[in-house]
Structure 1
Amino acid sequence: MKKLILAIAVTLLAIVSYNQPVSAQNKDAGVVLQPVYQSYFALKDALVASDGKAAQSAAESLYKNIAAVPMDKLGSSHTVWMNLQSKLSFDAEHMKGTNDIGHHREHFVSLSKNMYELMKVATYGKTVYYQHCPMYNKKKGGANWLSLDKAIKNPYFGSKMLTCGSTTETLE
């Protein structure tokens, strides 16, 4: 009888732990990932301004912040982080080594794709817009990025085509 009561108690605890804190864990993971997200947005802003040195600096900050993430604090987002961490690091590392804006923009395509996947499970805590430019990377269907601004400010073309694009999704 004691084993049955213990088994029921463990099962109920597992159900409560699984169902309730997941969204709280995702918010907690979002808090843990704030430095990564903020570095990404700084990088995006540098690309909008076509500022290679600022983009290089933001990429270096992003690279350091990715490496500093305390994985034990990611909760249910840990698995997603483990799948994306090396991809995010790869792009940030390539971008931090140069001030070539074209090179930054090439890596920003996959960086943004992976940040979007991460942000879907570990929320930023503010409204984030997933935006799309059909002209950059045209042969592959365009390119996406995340923005805190609803207004389009294209990081792939900067002032040449600043408002080219549209919002495809809103993450809350």
Structure 2
Amino acid sequence: MKKPLLILLIFLIAFCAYWFLFKPKAEHAADVKTGPLTASTHSAAFNLGMDSLMTAYFTMKDAFVNADSSAAKAACAKLIKLADSSRLAELKKDTAAIYESALAQLGDVKANAASLITQTDLKEMKQDFRMIGESIYPLLKTIHYEGKTLYWQNCPMAFGENKDANWISSTREIVNPYLGRNHPEFKGTMLHCGELKDSIKAQ
């Protein structure tokens, strides 16, 4: 009888030692709270380049709001230069499909921007501006844009009744670059005509 009691006693001592030595540490570790971890997919230089390209786009958009064709062309020329110096090659580390898609979309941006610079008619310039936006929007999605939230907006009558057009804005407020402040028919009454269709948030 003594041997079973001795074994039971050793078991109880070992259990108590475990409880007092190890259990408090486990509970303490469980109390440590960690915040969400976020990491940048792209280099700082890549993100700076995309932010600069978008700044040129927004400068062009504001020029159209004011029907300033010279300012729009100047911003467009800067956009082309920034597109030429983009660091899309960094995307090769992901997959070839992502890189090739982004490269094609950026190519469309540059082609439409080059067309805009040759135009003399403000309405035709706005058509090219529309197409630039239609190319930048999927580009931002493809590269998982990491900048501040942007807004994809729409005017249902940008080029006449039932002829809509989209653009990208840095704010939720609708400031229409197609009808703008100096429209030949509406003057500035349709400046805020439009709606929010989507937002582009950092991935």
The structure-2 alpha-carbon separation of the partners of 1:23 and 1:140, relative to structure 1 and needing over 3 Å to count, comes to farther
With the length of structure 2 as denominator, give the TM-score of the two structures: 0.66
Give the alignment partner of residue 92 of structure 1, picking from 109, 113, 117.
Answer: 113
1:104–1:131 CA distance, 2 compared to 1 (3 A): same
AA aligned opposite 1:82: L
Is the contact made by 2:152 and 2:196 (CA closer than 8 Å) also made in structure 1? Answer: yes
Question: Structure 1 residue 117 and structure 2 residue 138: aligned?
Answer: yes
* 1:66 Cα deviation after fit: 1.2
Deviates more, 1:100-109 or 1:149-158: 100-109
Aligned equivalents of 2:157 and 2:105: distance in 1? 26
Aligned amino acid, residue 199 of structure 2: T
Distance in structure 2 (CA, Å) of the matches to 1:143 and 1:132 = 6
Q: How does 1:11-160 map to 2 (within 5 A)?
A: 24-25=41-42, 29-75=46-92, 76=94, 77-98=98-119, 100-122=121-143, 123=145, 125-137=147-159, 142-159=164-181, 160=187
Compared with structure 1, are the counterparts of its residues 74 and 140 closer, same or farther at alpha carbon in structure 2 (3 Å cutoff)?
A: farther
Q: RMSD value over aligned CA atoms?
A: 2.7
What's the counterpart of residue 4 of structure 2? none
> Relative to 1, partners in 2 of residues 1:59 and 1:124: Cα closer, same or farther, differing over 3 Å?
farther
CA 1:120–1:138 in 2, change beyond 3 Å: closer, same or farther? farther
Give 1:9's aligned residue. none
Mapped contact 1:46–1:54 kept (Cα < 8 A): yes
Out of 196, 199, 203, which is 1:167 matched to? 196
Worse-superposed segment, 83-92 or 51-60: 83-92
CA contact (8 A) 1:109 1:143 kept: yes
- Asked if the contact 2:159–2:178 (Cα under 8 Å) also holds between the matched residues in 1, the reply is no
Structure 2: how far apart are the matches of 1:98 and 1:145? 19
Q: Deviations over 1:16-61 (max 9, x none)?
A: xxxxx99613987443322221111111111111111100100111
Higher helix share: 1
Partner of 2:41, secondary structure, is: helix
The structure number with the bigger radius of gyration is: 2
Unaligned runs of 5+ in 1: 1-20
Which shows bigger deviation, 64-73 or 42-51? 64-73
Q: How many equivalent pairs are there?
A: 153
